[in-house]
Amino acid sequence: MSITTEAPSAPQRREREPVSLTGGRLPRWMPWATLAVALAVSLTVFVFLNAGQPAEDYNIAGAVLCGLILFGIALITASLIVETRRHATNRLATILVSIAFGIALLPLISLLYTVTVNGIARFDIEFFTHSMRNIVGEGGGAVHAIWGTLLITLTAAIISVPIGLLTSIYLVEYGKGRLAKAITFFVDVMTGIPSIVAGLFIVALVAFLFGPGIYNGFVGALALSVLMIPVVVRSSEEMLRLVPNELREASYALGVPKWLTISKVVLPTAIAGITTGIMLAIARVIGETAPLLLTAGFTTSLNTNVFSQPMMTLPVFVYSQFANPGTAIDAALNRAWAGALTLIIIVMALNLIARFVAKRFAPKFGR
């Protein structure tokens, strides 16, 4: 007698029941639909309140913020009606986090929008190929300020990065006792000093060594280095401390000396974070105006020699165009907005380059 067994049939998948307002849960599309309706209502109310005024006077950021608040109230109310109190509390926490993110994002978007709209009018070939030499009214450009910003910032980075990186290596790998604590304390103090103080310090130092009245790009780079070195030290120090000690110990076990372990193991492992910290330091100083006014001076001509003659930078260019517009006020303001837009693009380009470098040279951990 043979016994035949049938293979158990695969369990049939239960079809997911559609979520409805009567099922104790809000549909997935409900938050997005509520957000869209809340933003539409808020924007409509703001348009009616600002009827008859120019379009540039509309407070779009305020309308979006009010729309987010209205969205939160409406969704929490619907959740309390349809869902349980636990679900409503969870949605409240999610909405608060989302609104906080929106509040943090609104100023950035508003800033980029304002600078782009006002600066695009003078974003032309003349702006990037001409200086302000012999320009009184309309026309002119900021090529001298762009070159000055790039050269002074590059010089400051050449001065600051080796000093800051070597200091962070000393604090992490060698520093012990009171000296390391003193260095850390003074680095923290220098991180918070006002930029005008750094400019005054360099002016006093240069006047003491070489006499007063010296204005050039190198002196401006020294002032920026005073602001840049503490940021490089702190960011690099934190990245070096994140390198696992097991990597150092494995290198020492193979007989590799400490200096070679640092250069071949520790630094390549932390190169991504170090590069990001350096870019943050550059972004910290590239927009400084006060120390450069005191050290690099002011000029309307192109100067590519950082060791001779005053040198213009984009922050000083924007300030001068706004503070001293002359007879053609609209033209000066357009140049100022275009200079601000150029500065933002330079910082964005530097960050993209830093991300590429960090991704390209970061160690690859694979099986």
CA distance 8 to 73: 52
pLDDT, one tens digit per residue, over 207-236 is 998 888 889 999 999 999 999 999 999 999
Query: Among 279, 323, 316, which Cα is nearest to 298's?
Result: 316
Query: Among 208, 361, 195, 216, which Cα is nearest to 278's?
Result: 361
What is the second-level CATH architecture of the domain 143-361? Answer: Orthogonal Bundle (1.10)
What's the average model confidence in pLDDT over 107-118? 88
Q: How confident is the prediction for the chain on average, in pLDDT? A: 85
Largest CA distance in the chain: 115
Please say whether the beta carbons of 281 and 359 come within 8 A: no
User: For the chain, what are the domain ranges?
Assistant: 29-122, 143-361
What's the average model confidence in pLDDT over 235-256? 90
Query: Among 366, 188, 205, 220, which Cα is nearest to 293's?
Result: 220
CA distance 184 to 180: 6
Is residue 8 exposed (0-12), middle (13-18) or buried (19+ Cβ within 10 Å)? Answer: exposed
What's the average model confidence in pLDDT over 266-275? 88
Of all residues in the chain, the percent with pLDDT exceeding 70 is 90
> Residue 61 is which amino acid?
A
CA distance 28 to 21: 11
Prediction pTM value: 0.79
